[in-house]
């Protein structure tokens, strides 16, 4: 990646090795006597892979393509014991929430791990090394943190709330979520709204779009003469395109495999819709390219970027890769004149002002945890069918 002029100081986070998968020890497991050690109650659990457990190259391998979501849900429903499930699949996380009964916790964990690994053609051990297994109120606390944005790479961002709502709505359509997960997810949305209303966790530039625009102005100055191309029409790409349009980028071009989607987004930002094939063959005409398309391999390679830079006669090219898997070859960032930033890079920059908001973040986490504990207590007393929710850990 090229560095900015001396006046711009950017520091990038190093990925730490994720801890091996283990059952969450955030709460005490339910204690069972020897006489009922084989009796298993209904419990809530989650397999979590996110930016906190896996680097970008691993996350992009685990990402589930939208057109394969139905197949993955079918695989989950085939696992013994699962009664409800919601899959939260975003650019920074793959999380599988389940309610189960009639199975041991470790067995369920192993089955879900094997199911995800097999679905993504990865070794189970590789997936396990970059996941966490949560049960009981640890699940609720985690989801509350996620929807409120305090577990996000860009702490305090609000895009994740919309993504969680979409994931939940999708599970409802598939008749995969039931009474317990319905209540947990709905309460998480309420908790997120409370956190953003009553704390300062969202103060400052904490969206990918805002950060990308700020970087663009550092490179090009004013955006009035910049030519912007948006690849893909997903929520993150859409909001980033809107951020550029609102800051003066004239008539951004939008390209998508589905032209109608491109046209709809282009109209909302006073831009132009173009076919994806045309955009990829003529991207040398653009100064800023936002990649947010669903693609199994890079849409723009380092070789094509090299040719483009030569044709641009020294003009800078800003590539913003919001895709997972990535839209641009990582090697393109080593080419002189190219500024390539991915999700991890943008998140690090966004969190430069986190220190000033840390007190608000801690207050939000404490309040969210209290709300999660109260919800778990009510769920433990009685679910819709009168069966207790508990952690399914057999303690000797």
* Region 320-344 average pLDDT: 94
pLDDT tens profile 9-28: 222 222 233 344 543 333 33
pLDDT at 22: 45
pLDDT at 28: 32
Q: What are the φ/ψ torsions at residue 189 (nearest 5 degrees)? A: -65, -40
Strand partners, 144: none
pLDDT at 324: 87
Q: How many CB atoms lie within 10 A of CB 293?
A: 21
| Strand ranges inside 43-174, DSSP E | 43-50, 82-89, 93-100, 132-135
* Region 357-375 average pLDDT: 89
pLDDT tens profile 86-107: 999 998 899 999 999 999 999 9
Per-residue pLDDT for 169 more than 50? yes
pLDDT at 200: 84
Per-residue pLDDT for 300 more than 90? yes
How far is Cα 292 from Cα 120, in angstroms, rounded to an integer? 21
Radius of gyration of the chain (CA): 22
User: Hey, which residues are catalytic here?
Assistant: 91
pLDDT at 379: 87
Per-residue pLDDT for 393 more than 50? no
Per-residue pLDDT for 194 more than 90? yes
pLDDT at 314: 80
pLDDT at 396: 29
């Amino acid at each position: 990646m090229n560095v900015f002029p001396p006046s711009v100081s950017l520091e990038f986070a190093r990925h730490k090795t994720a801890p091996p998968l283990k059952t969450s020890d955030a709460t005490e497991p339910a204690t069972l006597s020897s006489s009922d050690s084989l009796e298993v109650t209904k419990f809530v659990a989650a397999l979590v892979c996110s930016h906190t457990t896996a680097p970008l190259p691993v996350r992009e391998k685990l990402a589930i393509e939208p057109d394969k979501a139905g197949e993955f849900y079918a695989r989950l429903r085939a696992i013994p014991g699962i009664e409800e499930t919601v899959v939260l699949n975003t650019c920074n996380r793959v999380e599988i929430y389940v309610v189960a009964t009639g199975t041991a916790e470790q067995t369920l964990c192993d089955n879900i791990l094997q199911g995800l690994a097999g679905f993504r053609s990865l070794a189970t051990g590789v997936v396990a090394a970059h996941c966490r297994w949560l049960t009981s109120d640890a699940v609720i606390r985690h989801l509350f943190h996620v929807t409120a944005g305090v577990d996000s790479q860009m702490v305090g961002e609000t895009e994740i709330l919309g993504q969680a709502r979409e994931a939940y709505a999708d599970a409802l359509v598939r008749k995969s979520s039931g009474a317990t997960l319905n209540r947990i997810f709905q309460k998480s949305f309420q908790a997120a709204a409370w956190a953003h209303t009553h704390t300062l966790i969202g103060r400052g530039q904490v969206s990918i779009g805002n950060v990308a625009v700020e970087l663009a102005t550092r490179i090009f100055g004013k955006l009035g003469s910049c030519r912007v191309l948006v690849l893909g029409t997903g929520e993150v790409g859409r909001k980033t395109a809107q951020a550029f349009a609102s800051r003066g980028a004239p008539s951004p071009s939008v390209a998508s495999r589905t032209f109608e989607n491109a046209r709809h987004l282009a109209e909302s930002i006073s831009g132009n819709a173009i076919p994806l094939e045309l955009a990829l063959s003529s991207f040398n005409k653009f100064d800023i390219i936002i990649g947010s398309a669903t693609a199994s391999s890079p849409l723009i390679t380092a070789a094509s970027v090299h040719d483009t830079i030569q044709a641009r006669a020294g003009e800078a090219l800003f590539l913003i890769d919001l895709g997972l898997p990535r839209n641009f070859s990582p090697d393109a960032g080593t080419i002189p004149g190219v500024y390539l930033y991915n999700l991890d890079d943008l998140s690090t920059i966004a969190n430069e002002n986190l220190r000033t908001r840390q007190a608000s973040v801690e207050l939000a986490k404490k309040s969210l945890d209290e709300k999660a504990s109260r919800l778990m207590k009510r769920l433990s007393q009685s679910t819709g069918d009168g069966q207790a929710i508990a952690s399914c850990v057999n303690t000797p």
